């Protein structure tokens, strides 16, 4: 179905913006609400679920090489249960992609295109991503490789320019109320880390499959490092006001005044946001399209990219009447939903697969042993 191949480096560069893009903008404020001045630690705690998710995806792929979760779940627990699990995954990915598109558009409309109808922003992004997905995984991988400088360099420039405004003392007191607040704050970023399970849709198409695990783990680490740095910068600039901002990193960028000359740096944030959201939506969209085609046992996923695009736009609107709804969902439901679908379910599958494989092996060894005697 997918004839393209990607390298594991491309996979890493597809996953990195996928997690970071939306996690650096709004999440610091949510984390700060729970963890106060310790919110920079939360991504470190949360990253463990990321490592676990990558580990599960790679292990499962080793047991069933060349297949995605939609395919091997049917082999692990039978056709019908497998179909149900596949459906859970697909409905999860369609809905999450819709919400990401909505989140992307909310920010754009909130701060830049104030008078533009949100549907235009959403539809144009989905259209663009649909073209990329239609073009295949190879195009997406190369695009991610091409765009990674556009994603990283503005971040680095931002951190350099904001340096004079950093008030390092804001980090104190460290752990004033024990480890519980930052642990609770890590629940929400944890939801973002579970998105690493997307790796299971990319692993079958790697040229260098052996490096999959290493690059996956390295990506988790890179994401963690980025989030910690972003959170620290936000903390050093905004201090106790962080939790009252909707997009703290935006406030940080706006606060920059370097040598009275470098001011009004919002466009950098916009570049990061648009490029990151583009890669993120494309990767999710790709997983959705490929998974749906495999679930329906079609010969090609390309034709259904378009109707899925319509689905994505529709779920971006469905029962979310305002941006506050979206934020509440992202805090109250998404982290748990994401963890259940993308970490617990694969864990269960892996356990079942390992047990049944052992049984099979035992039987095989029993049967092969028998004639020997």
Partner 1 sequence: MIKERGRVTVREKVNRHKSISIILLLLLTIPFMSGCWDRVEINDLAIVTAASIDKKDDGSIELSIQVFIPKSISSGGGEGGPSQGAGGATTLVKSDVGSNLSEALSKLQGKVPRKVFWGHCKVFVFGEGLAKEGIQEQLDFLLRHPQPRERANVYVSKGKGKAILESLPPLENYSGEVIKELSDLHLGLRVTLHNLDEMLTGNSQAVALPFIKILPPAKGEAKLQGIPYIFGTALFERDKMTGTMTEKETRGLLWLKDDMESYTVTLKPEGIEGLISINPISSRVRIIPYIVNGNWRVSVKVDTEGTVIQNGTKLNLTVPKSLKIAERTYQKDVEKRIRLTLLHLQGNGDDVIGLAKEFYRKYPKQFSEAENDWERIFEEMEVEVDVTSHIRRQGYINKPAGLPEKEVKDR
Partner 2 sequence: MKWAAFLSTAFIAILIILYEWPKLKQKSAKDKLALVSLLLIGLLLSMFHLQEMAGPTSWIEAFFRPLGEFMER
Report the residue from 66, 156, 164, 263 that binds partner 1 according to the rule CB under 8 A: 263
State yes or no: residue 115 binds partner 1 (CB under 8 A).
yes
State yes or no: residue 117 binds partner 1 (CB under 8 A).
yes
State yes or no: residue 124 binds partner 1 (CB under 8 A).
yes
- Smaller CB separation from partner 1, 173 or 371: 173
> CA of 54: how far to CAs of 11, 47, 59, 203, 343, in Å?
13, 11, 9, 11, 9
Residue 300 phi/psi, 5-degree rounding, is: -150, 145
State yes or no: residue 238 binds partner 1 (CB under 8 A).
yes
Of partner 1, partner 2, none, which one does residue 110 interact with (CB within 5 to 8 Å by kind)? partner 1
Q: How far is the CB of 13 from partner 1 (least distance, A)?
A: 27
Report the residue from 320, 345, 349, 353 that binds partner 2 according to the rule CB under 8 A: 320
State yes or no: residue 257 binds partner 1 (CB under 8 A).
yes
Tokens representing 5 are 């191949």
> CA of 290: how far to CAs of 42, 133, 136, 150, 204, in Å?
33, 9, 10, 27, 12
State yes or no: residue 178 binds partner 1 (CB under 8 A).
no
> CA of 127: how far to CAs of 82, 108, 308, 313, 316, in Å?
31, 17, 11, 10, 14
Report the residue from 332, 357, 362, 365 that binds partner 2 according to the rule CB under 8 A: 332
The set of residues, in sequence order, having a beta carbon less than 8 Å from that of 302 and lying 6+ positions away, is: 134, 289
CB of 147 within 8 A of CB of 275? yes
Tokens representing 98 are 């819709």
Site pattern 163..192 for partner 2 (x: CB under 8 A): ---------------------x--xx----
State yes or no: residue 177 binds partner 1 (CB under 8 A).
yes
**Can you point out the beta strands (E) in the chain?**
257-258, 262-263
Residue with tokens 């609770």: 184
Q: How far is the CB of 361 from partner 1 (least distance, A)?
A: 55
Of partner 1, partner 2, none, which one does residue 238 interact with (CB within 5 to 8 Å by kind)? partner 1
The residues of the shown chain that bind partner 2, judged by CB under 8 A, are 91, 95, 99, 184, 187-188, 296-300, 302-304, 306-308, 310-311, 314-315, 317-321, 328-329, 331-333, 336-337
């Amino acid at each position: 179905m997918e004839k393209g191949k990607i390298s594991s480096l491309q996979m890493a560069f597809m996953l990195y913006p996928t997690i970071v893009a939306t996690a650096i903008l709004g999440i610091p404020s949510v984390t700060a609400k729970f963890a106060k001045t310790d919110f920079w630690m939360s991504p470190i705690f949360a990253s463990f679920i990321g490592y676990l998710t990558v580990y599960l995806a790679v292990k499962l792929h080793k047991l069933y090489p060349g297949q995605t979760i939609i395919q091997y779940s049917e082999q692990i627990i039978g056709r019908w249960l497998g179909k149900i699990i596949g459906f859970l995954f697909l409905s999860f990915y369609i809905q999450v992609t819709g919400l990401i598109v909505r989140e992307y558009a909310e920010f754009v409309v909130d701060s830049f295109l104030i008078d533009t109808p949100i549907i235009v922003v959403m539809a144009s992004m989905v259209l663009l991503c649909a073209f990329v997905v239609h073009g295949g995984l190879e195009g997406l991988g190369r695009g991610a490789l091409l765009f990674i400088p556009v994603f990283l360099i503005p971040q680095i420039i931002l951190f350099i320019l904001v340096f004079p405004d950093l008030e390092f003392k804001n980090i104190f007191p460290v752990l004033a109320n024990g480890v519980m607040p930052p642990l609770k704050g890590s629940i929400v970023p944890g939801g973002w880390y579970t998105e690493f399970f997307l790796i299971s849709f990319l692993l079958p198409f790697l040229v260098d499959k052996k490096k999959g695990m290493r690059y996956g783990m390295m990506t988790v680490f890179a994401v963690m490092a980025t989030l910690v740095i972003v959170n620290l910068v936000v903390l050093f600039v905004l201090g106790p006001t962080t939790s009252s901002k909707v997009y703290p990193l935006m406030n940080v960028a706006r606060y920059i005044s370097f040598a009275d000359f470098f001011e009004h740096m919002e466009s950098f944030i916009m570049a990061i946001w648009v490029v990151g959201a583009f890669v993120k939506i494309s990767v999710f969209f790709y997983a959705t399209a490929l998974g749906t085609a495999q679930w329906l046992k079609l010969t090609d996923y390309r034709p259904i990219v378009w109707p899925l695009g319509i689905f994505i736009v529709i779920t971006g609107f469905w029962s979310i009447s305002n941006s506050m709804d979206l934020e509440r969902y992202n805090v109250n439901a998404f982290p748990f939903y994401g963890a259940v679908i993308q970490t617990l379910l694969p864990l269960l599958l892996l356990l079942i697969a390992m047990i049944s494989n052992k049984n099979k092996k035992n039987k095989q060894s029993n049967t092969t042993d028998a004639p020997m005697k």
